[in-house]
Chain A
């Protein structure tokens, strides 16, 4: 049964949303335990290696061309058109273009030739997977000649970029990239084109194992614009502590150093980076991301850790955050105070958590719904965790926060990005456990699943009473909001248990109180005893349709008939069929697999232990098949009852392995009923049917099994 499930989007055991504290431009690096990058609609574009720079490029060209080409034309020419298509467009429009326009068309074919090797995705139909692609003929000369012949700085910078990138892909010596970069770099502004070229220089340096330089250059690219965050961070890989120290020495000012620590912090060691950045600039926004990642990682680890293990890194990190949070020169004191409180909470230091939260509360901006909600969520987690006893006063205090959480769950309130689902289950779990300690199973079971709750009819009755009570107290209303079932679910369950106790009148009374459920139509005829267990065959051709309710009524009639001695063979056979189908091996699983007994059981071991025996046992089927056998008049009738008993016997054999070591033989032993069928009923038509249909019986006849 599912109580408070985490079906609200975010799977990590997180209650702390980086979205409320960290600039959205860092969002690809928000911690996600499953994906390398935290993706949402806003970040999709940054992750696409080919389209990442499309927007800025288009804007730059548009400004350069002064509106001579429309946005649509530009997009087509820059990102879609082939060289031939460019040629034909050029012929049409060239007469109307100014010098810049003409230069654009001269540059384009060269750029397209460069894209053959620079823009490629792995693709099944790419015939040349062994990249790099065949080296383009004369491209290096063409680029150098174009650079020599072009004076326009805008075009020159693009030609330079192409040359650097060309060398990155094709230069085997590793020196020509740096040469191409250095020869021209002085003349260009420090713009996106410049930093993209620098990125390729860094790549070439990395390939030459000049890690210190490479990582320093990647950090400069990272620092330039958010559009370069991803490729730069992805490429940043110090190898040894020595080259990392060398990289730090290359930094020309504190900001550059901060970026280096920030990059180290994202991927490798957030606490170490936080410590260093705070020394350089406690107001740096590069702290924010690292703090959120550190918190989100600790959340995950705390959830996965067993209670008796002490995480020394958490204790150390708390010390660090405490130290920083007490500073008076922070840009976002509220963020640090909440963070400190929450980390203490994760470390079960509730008093310290409360102290930090109190500081945070005083700083909360009244109009900021997100921050208010985040605070409330963390505070609720703490308050519930600190409860020692659930008495009337405590319940009154819980009414408001529990209703708030339930409103979020039920989409009656919405705070986008608030990670409340884990808090919801933590809170209900804690409350449930406390009630259990107080021995109040009724209340406990409203918040968390109480083991074997529904096997006790008095307990079920008391929950029913609560559910149907007309006037409820505010806390009772809360309990019902958290309780996952309805009164009809419970009545249906009681009916079900009564059937297995063969108390059909009681079952019928309960069933009558389960509207909706009592009318569900069974997929197969529940009274039919099929030769082979083929559920799908039965579902395809239901001859007689029954609802849960009419099924019960019919059982009642059959039992009455049996008692009065009327057509005993047929009535017993049908009752045997009913109880066979009411077992795991039969066709009426839909009838007994409910929200309480579990709807996803495909093998006997999946059933909850308190119902497993009920659902797998063959006792009742055997009882009625035996009555049928004893009252059978003809050999055909007897053969049928004997074979049906043999099925129960085989199922009993399978049952004896459930939940135990070892597995049944691939071909189970024959047993008494196969023997009887073989010895006494060879002459019957039913025997021939069995022989045709049942491979086990054939093997038995052919003496392959005992």
Chain B
């Protein structure tokens, strides 16, 4: 059979740009790993059982002057059926305070603790991800830690990358890991006064995307599925909550609806939070529209990568019922 020449050209084109389809995954960031039925179902259907599970934090003990594991996750569900990537979160403070000579022993301890937890859960894992919002002043120690970690743990190593670390890479450096995970959320200043969302907004994101295509690490992507409420007092942000949503704020006995959100009418406790008269609550919500925008904007800028993983944050605090497996599938395949 003769194939018309233009069709040949077309076939040639798709074969040369062919890359394997992206996969989806979920973070799980609670201190007890105990997903309910809906979460398990979503993980299986939308995320092919790819789970990035926070194992523990590493924080700095100001009294004892050492780094220590904190909020170690209790694993109360079977991990054998998932494709596991343990995640550890290290506060930047740790590297501000740690001596360079101590990075090696910290790496060893982290690796040992991961092994212990994995062996207790009787499961295997594919890679390790380290999450740390390092800065130019801590990069040397953080990178020394990452290098040392790879001597103790032979699994592939990933590090989270924030947008400012992409833009200012000369200053903040590129971490010595196998892969980066671009965190495509928490980009604006958390503030009650601004109308744009600090979880995701196109304008703030755009400022950082210019140099994305030349970032020297292969990049997976982390996208938000959460919403939160920002609590501020006298113009100062106090806290953000995922346990409070717009629903609770619409009680007009307690809150007055104003342009920038909801203003408390009196002093009271709600969901374990103490609220004072005139406190402002501003909901920031992530929905499919926001997610579509984020995915569209980012997919255009990322260099191609085979089987890129899109990790959704996070399984236990998904805010809306509209995030169905089908919806998440649609987003994933924009990459």
A interface with B by C-beta (< 8 Å): 35, 39, 47, 122-124, 127-131, 237-241, 243-244, 267-269, 272, 301, 304-305, 309, 311-313, 666
Residues of B contacting A243 with CB < 8 Å?
269
In the complex the two chains form, is B272's CB within 8 Å of A237's CB?
A: yes
Give the contacting residue for A122; candidates B62, B63, B72, B74; CB below 8 A. B72
In the complex the two chains form, is A129's CB within 8 Å of B69's CB?
A: yes
The 3 closest A-B pairs by CB, nearest first: A268-B274, A129-B72, A241-B268
Residues of B contacting A269 with CB < 8 Å?
267, 274, 276
What are 10 A-B residue pairs whose CB atoms fall within 8 Å in the complex? A129-B69, A130-B75, A130-B117, A238-B269, A239-B269, A240-B270, A241-B269, A269-B267, A305-B234, A311-B234
Cα(A128)–Cα(B69), bound, Å:
12
In the complex the two chains form, is B270's CB within 8 Å of A241's CB?
A: yes
B74's nearest neighbour on chain A, judged by CB, is A130
A35's nearest neighbour on chain B, judged by CB, is B62
B interface with A by C-beta (< 8 Å): 56, 62-63, 68-70, 72-75, 109, 112-113, 116-117, 120, 170, 234-236, 267-272, 274, 276, 278
Q: Which of B75, B117, B268 has the most CB of A within 10 A?
A: B268
In the complex the two chains form, is B269's CB within 8 Å of A129's CB?
A: no
In the complex the two chains form, is A122's CB within 8 Å of B70's CB?
A: yes
Cα(A304)–Cα(B237), bound, Å:
13
Give the contacting residue for A129; candidates B56, B270, B271; CB below 8 A. B56
* Least distance between A318 CB and chain B CB atoms (Å): 15
In the complex the two chains form, is B276's CB within 8 Å of A124's CB?
A: no
Give the contacting residue for B234; candidates A241, A272, A313, A666; CB below 8 A. A313
In the complex the two chains form, is B268's CB within 8 Å of A130's CB?
A: no
* Least distance between A662 CB and chain B CB atoms (Å): 12
Residues of B contacting A131 with CB < 8 Å?
74
Residues of A contacting B235 with CB < 8 Å?
309
Q: Which of A123, A268, A312 has the most CB of B within 10 A?
A: A268
In the complex the two chains form, is A124's CB within 8 Å of B68's CB?
A: yes
A316's nearest neighbour on chain B, judged by CB, is B277
* Least distance between B14 CB and chain A CB atoms (Å): 36
Residues of A contacting B236 with CB < 8 Å?
304
Cα(A237)–Cα(B271), bound, Å:
10
Cα(A604)–Cα(B105), bound, Å:
37
* Least distance between A312 CB and chain B CB atoms (Å): 7
* Least distance between B27 CB and chain A CB atoms (Å): 20
* Least distance between A157 CB and chain B CB atoms (Å): 32
Give the contacting residue for B112; candidates A35, A124, A240; CB below 8 A. A124
B62's nearest neighbour on chain A, judged by CB, is A35
Cα(A240)–Cα(B275), bound, Å:
10
* Least distance between B207 CB and chain A CB atoms (Å): 13
Residues of B contacting A312 with CB < 8 Å?
278
In the complex the two chains form, is A124's CB within 8 Å of B109's CB?
A: yes
Residues of A contacting B62 with CB < 8 Å?
35
In the complex the two chains form, is B69's CB within 8 Å of A240's CB?
A: no
In the complex the two chains form, is B267's CB within 8 Å of A127's CB?
A: no
Contact A240:B113 (CB < 8 A) given known A122-B68, A301-B234, A312-B278 = no
Residues of A contacting B113 with CB < 8 Å?
124, 129
Contact A239:B69 (CB < 8 A) given known A129-B56, A269-B276 = no
Residues of B contacting A305 with CB < 8 Å?
234
Cα(A301)–Cα(B113), bound, Å:
42
* Least distance between A69 CB and chain B CB atoms (Å): 31
Cα(A269)–Cα(B75), bound, Å:
37
Cα(A122)–Cα(B72), bound, Å:
9
In the complex the two chains form, is A240's CB within 8 Å of B271's CB?
A: yes
In the complex the two chains form, is A130's CB within 8 Å of B72's CB?
A: yes
In the complex the two chains form, is A244's CB within 8 Å of B269's CB?
A: yes
In the complex the two chains form, is B63's CB within 8 Å of A272's CB?
A: no
Residues of A contacting B69 with CB < 8 Å?
122, 124, 129
Cα(A269)–Cα(B276), bound, Å:
8
* Least distance between A435 CB and chain B CB atoms (Å): 33
B271's nearest neighbour on chain A, judged by CB, is A239
Cα(A282)–Cα(B315), bound, Å:
52
* Least distance between B230 CB and chain A CB atoms (Å): 18
In the complex the two chains form, is A127's CB within 8 Å of B116's CB?
A: yes
A306's nearest neighbour on chain B, judged by CB, is B235
* Least distance between A305 CB and chain B CB atoms (Å): 8
* Least distance between A300 CB and chain B CB atoms (Å): 11
Cα(A341)–Cα(B170), bound, Å:
53
* Least distance between B51 CB and chain A CB atoms (Å): 17
Give the contacting residue for A272; candidates B70, B109, B267; CB below 8 A. B267
Residues of B contacting A123 with CB < 8 Å?
68
B274's nearest neighbour on chain A, judged by CB, is A268
Residues of A contacting B271 with CB < 8 Å?
239-240
Give the contacting residue for B269; candidates A39, A47, A240, A313; CB below 8 A. A240
Residues of A contacting B268 with CB < 8 Å?
241
A305's nearest neighbour on chain B, judged by CB, is B234
Give the contacting residue for B116; candidates A129, A238, A241, A304; CB below 8 A. A129
Residues of A contacting B68 with CB < 8 Å?
122-124
Q: Which of B62, B112, B170, B274 has the most CB of A within 10 A?
A: B274
Residues of B contacting A122 with CB < 8 Å?
68-70, 72
* Least distance between B266 CB and chain A CB atoms (Å): 9
Cα(A124)–Cα(B111), bound, Å:
10
Residues of B contacting A313 with CB < 8 Å?
234, 276, 278
* Least distance between A145 CB and chain B CB atoms (Å): 31
Residues of B contacting A130 with CB < 8 Å?
72-75, 117, 120
* Least distance between A260 CB and chain B CB atoms (Å): 13
Other A-B pairs, 8, CB within 8 Å; known A244-B269, A309-B235, A313-B278: A39-B63, A129-B69, A130-B72, A131-B74, A241-B270, A267-B274, A305-B234, A666-B170
Cα(A187)–Cα(B235), bound, Å:
54
* Least distance between B146 CB and chain A CB atoms (Å): 18
Residues of B contacting A244 with CB < 8 Å?
269
Q: Which of A240, A304, A312 has the most CB of B within 10 A?
A: A240
Cα(A299)–Cα(B170), bound, Å:
40
* Least distance between A270 CB and chain B CB atoms (Å): 11
Residues of B contacting A239 with CB < 8 Å?
269, 271-272
Residues of B contacting A127 with CB < 8 Å?
116
B76's nearest neighbour on chain A, judged by CB, is A130
Cα(A238)–Cα(B116), bound, Å:
37
B106's nearest neighbour on chain A, judged by CB, is A124
A39's nearest neighbour on chain B, judged by CB, is B63
Cα(A313)–Cα(B121), bound, Å:
52
Cα(A311)–Cα(B236), bound, Å:
12
Cα(A313)–Cα(B272), bound, Å:
22
Residues of B contacting A47 with CB < 8 Å?
63
A128's nearest neighbour on chain B, judged by CB, is B120
